[in-house]
Amino acid sequence: MECLIEVRYRIGQSNRTKAYKSEIRARKGIWKWLKKNELEPDINASYFSPETGHHSYQSHEQLTDCEPKPVNNFYLSQAWRSLRHQILTSRPKVCAICGRSPEIHGVAVEVDHILPRSKYPELALEPNNLQILCYDCNRGKRDKIVPQT
């Protein structure tokens, strides 16, 4: 049988509870809540676990092991998203390999690195190293260097 962990969150005189399916999920939820409310003067999050007993926290710094790991995904970075938007709005939406376009052929287009980012990371944010490709050509190209038509 699954043991739910019920966490009591308190700010001043205000209380609320939330149930979690595991202790680690409870601790991660507490970390997020404490981080979000860190400027509040009187906060506390507590729970009781049958395995480890009673736990009480007043600061997210007490739960450093539960802090989310940073996401280092290049394609989610603000720099890439901004440059990608610039390329898509400033250039014709026509595939540099096959010449198809969304308007005429109904294809999806993407921004591609001409010299692959995996082999030339220093050119990852260089506009002259970017081209517009349709979905199919970009998947076929992968990390190869393909001359533009």
Residues 46 and 20 in one domain: yes
Domain final residue, candidates 66, 86, 109: 66
Per residue in 37-78, pLDDT (tens digit) is 999 999 999 999 988 999 999 999 999 999 988 778 999 999
Domain that residue 98 falls in: 74-141
DSSP-assigned states of every residue in 61-129? GGGGGGSPPPP--GGGSHHHHHHHHHHHHHS----TTT---HHHH---EEEEESS-TTT-GGGTT-GGG
Among candidates 123, 120, 149, which has minimal Cα distance to 134?
149
Q: How far apart are CA 54 and CA 51, in angstroms?
A: 9
Residues 89 and 49 in one domain: no
> Which residues contact residue 29 at a Cβ distance below 8 angstroms, ignoring those fewer than 6 apart?
7, 18, 20
pLDDT of residue 147: 61
Residue at 9 is within a domain: yes
Strand partners, 56: 46
* pTM of this structure: 0.54
Question: For each of the chain's 149 residues, which pLDDT tens digit applies?
Answer: 467 999 999 999 999 999 999 999 999 999 999 999 999 999 999 999 988 999 999 999 999 999 988 778 999 999 999 999 999 999 999 999 999 999 999 999 999 999 999 899 999 999 999 999 999 999 988 777 776 65
Q: Are 125 and 79 in contact (CB under 8 A)?
A: yes
Residue at 91 is within a domain: yes
Classify residue 24 by its DSSP letter.
H
pLDDT of residue 1: 47
Residues 10 and 59 in one domain: yes
